[in-house]
Amino acid sequence: MHHIEITDTGITEIGKASVTSPLLNGDGTSHQSFIEEKDRVLVNIRLEEIEADLQKEGPLASFELAGPRRKIYFDSSKLRCALVTCGGLCPGLNDIIRSIVLELYYHYGVRTIYGMRYGLQGFIPKYGHDVMDLEPASVAGILDRGGSILGSSRGPQEIGEIVDCLERMNIGILFMVGGDGTLRAAVKIADEILQRNLKISVVGIPKTIDNDIYMISRSFGFETAVDVSTQAIIGAHNEAAGYPNGIGLIKLMGRHSGFIAATAALAQQDVNFVLIPEVDFDLEGPNGFLAALEKRLALRGHAVIVVAEGAGQKFFENNGGETDESGNIRLSDIGIYLKGAMAKYFKGKGIEVNIKYIDPSYMIRSLPANANDSVFCGFLGRNAVHAGMAGKTKVVIGRWNNHFVHIPMEAATSRRKQVSPTGELWSAVMETTGQLPMKNPA
């Protein structure tokens, strides 16, 4: 991990935490281990990084440790909470919902928890979406279901209308589960709330199957995505090995960051080529991908290729800035393009190939979380509740240096996390696959 430069790790609070936590017994004891505000986790931990930071003025950069506080802001008996899931589906959404509801209900005694239907549309009157009352009975058994019981949607909604709705419903804590775009919207919502001088806490739980949110070392659903991707790799390898000059091509998620493609290739080491957005490659020419693939087929008689959906976008002329409902650039289909380019190349050389193309993306997104992700979601949900009850706002719950911490929303949305072409992960991919840089001399 490279040195992180962060100027402000302070977390905004909507007021003084003066209410004794219901997690405490009457005699002040509890089975909980409470966190003090002074408990912090260093951002940079390598010796040379710490030595460099010590040369600067001020304290070392650190995050607040997540967890329950002895004093909280909200009176549980009078609190209403709202929960919304936004953006694309991702394994673990139902686990997050269940964790938040059970923590609020059983441990803090909150009895009014609203699930907003279909993302941010749920706050806007014109859509007419019903609100779901959430309680333990309504989240029982949802862990075995993929997707989100609340549904989701993409696209921006009027911030003022969202805050108007929160006011009308007398919401005290809003839990927002979503990716980069959702967290940017959450910052605007929290700012509007503060500008109106309302006492509403906004807590974000980062959702990105691509694992590409900055300052978030691991996002929920990522492990499940890698897990299921390995099944696709096994299938592609069996197909490729079963035919003369067989080629198995798998397109995986990864709009801007190739973490799933790279990690899946390491988990199931049948892959010969990994193509990701962060590492440029050429198709044609003596050092290009097609020449490297031809050499592989001549040597071994089959090949397996994993490509992230955002790789190779330079090959398309019409990526002229058209966007989807969430403001993301619409990607051209690199999987179909590669399949056609390979077929044309080998046909021109008179070499017969058998190409099998697999795209498991939407199946992966909508599956239930695996065991590890489910456990991880439980921690994220509980820590989100602890943060909200303590009156923290504009805060994201993340995992950093083996601790759950409070990360300022602005820091998490300041840039995108990507695979470093000179880092440990990509070096391991190069070693495992044996692929070389596929760029021709300029």
DSSP string, 243-268: STTEEEEEEE--SS--HHHHHHHHHS
Distance (Å, rounded) from C-alpha 337 to C-alpha 313?
A: 10
Instruction: Specify whether 310 is located in the same domain as 386.
Output: no
**254 labeled part of a ligand binding site:** yes
Distance (Å, rounded) from C-alpha 180 to C-alpha 409?
A: 10
**180 labeled part of a ligand binding site:** yes
Assigned domain for 41 exists: yes
**179 labeled part of a ligand binding site:** yes
Instruction: Specify whether 214 is located in the same domain as 268.
Output: no
Instruction: Specify whether 260 is located in the same domain as 159.
Output: no
* Predicted local distance difference test score (pLDDT) of residue 263: 98
Instruction: Specify whether 42 is located in the same domain as 160.
Output: yes
CA distance to 65, 114, 231, 240, 431, per residue, from 272 (Å): 41, 48, 16, 12, 10
Which of 93, 183, 154 is CA-nearest to residue 365? 93
How big is the CA angle at 255 (ends 252 and 258), to the nearest 5 degrees?
60
Instruction: Specify whether 333 is located in the same domain as 209.
Output: no
**430 labeled part of a ligand binding site:** no
**Taking the alpha carbons of 440, 431, 267, 90 in that order, is the dihedral positive or negative?**
negative
**181 labeled part of a ligand binding site:** yes
Distance (Å, rounded) from C-alpha 330 to C-alpha 310?
A: 10
**340 labeled part of a ligand binding site:** no
* Predicted local distance difference test score (pLDDT) of residue 100: 98
Instruction: Name the H helices within 59-196.
Output: 93-102, 136-139, 159-168, 180-195
* Predicted local distance difference test score (pLDDT) of residue 271: 98
CA distance to 71, 78, 233, 341, 390, per residue, from 22 (Å): 9, 13, 49, 63, 12
Distance (Å, rounded) from C-alpha 158 to C-alpha 146?
A: 29
The percent helix, strand, coil of the chain (3-state, each to 5) is 35, 20, 45
State how many domains the chain has.
2
**4 labeled part of a ligand binding site:** no
- Radius of gyration from C-alpha coordinates of the chain: 24
Count Cβ atoms within 10 A of the Cβ of residue 57 and give its class: 0-12 exposed, 13-18 middle, 19 or more buried: exposed
CATH (domain of 279): 3.40.50.460
pLDDT in tens, 39-77: 999 998 889 888 888 888 888 889 999 999 999 999 999
Long-range contacts: 335-342, Cβ < 8 Å, 24+? 335/249, 335/251, 335/307, 335/309, 335/359, 337/312, 338/249, 338/275, 338/305, 338/307, 338/312, 339/249, 341/283, 341/290, 342/247, 342/249, 342/290, 342/293
Q: Point out the residues that are catalytic.
A: 210
**357 labeled part of a ligand binding site:** no
* Predicted local distance difference test score (pLDDT) of residue 318: 62
pLDDT in tens, 9-46: 999 999 999 999 999 887 767 778 899 989 999 998 88
Residue stretches of the chain with pLDDT short of 50 = none
Instruction: Specify whether 267 is located in the same domain as 244.
Output: yes
Assigned domain for 25 exists: yes
* Predicted local distance difference test score (pLDDT) of residue 317: 73
Angle 371-389/222-241 helices, nearest 10 degrees?
Answer: 160
Please count the other Cβ atoms lying within 10 Å of the Cβ belonging to residue 315.
Answer: 15
Instruction: Specify whether 180 is located in the same domain as 247.
Output: no
Distance (Å, rounded) from C-alpha 266 to C-alpha 233?
A: 11
**141 labeled part of a ligand binding site:** no
Question: Which amino acid, 163?
Answer: V
What are residue 13's DSSP bridge partners?
392
Tracing tokens 């805050």 back to the chain, one arrives at 163
Assigned domain for 147 exists: yes
Instruction: Specify whether 20 is located in the same domain as 100.
Output: yes
Quote the domain boundaries for residue 255.
Answer: 223-366+422-433
Eight-state DSSP code of residue 331: P
Distance (Å, rounded) from C-alpha 363 to C-alpha 209?
A: 13
Instruction: Specify whether 258 is located in the same domain as 209.
Output: no
Tracing tokens 């260093």 back to the chain, one arrives at 42
Instruction: Specify whether 30 is located in the same domain as 144.
Output: yes
Written as six digits, the tokens of 243 are 């035919």
Instruction: Specify whether 198 is located in the same domain as 249.
Output: no
Q: Which helix (H) or strand (E) holds 237?
A: helix 222-241
Task: Give the end-to-end CA distance of the chain in Å, rounded to a whole number.
Answer: 30
Which of 62, 31, 122 is CA-nearest to residue 400? 62
Instruction: Specify whether 49 is located in the same domain as 128.
Output: yes
Residues 6+ away with beta carbon under 8 Å from 442: none
Which of 186, 79, 173 is CA-nearest to residue 388? 173
Written as six digits, the tokens of 374 are 């489910």
* Predicted local distance difference test score (pLDDT) of residue 320: 53
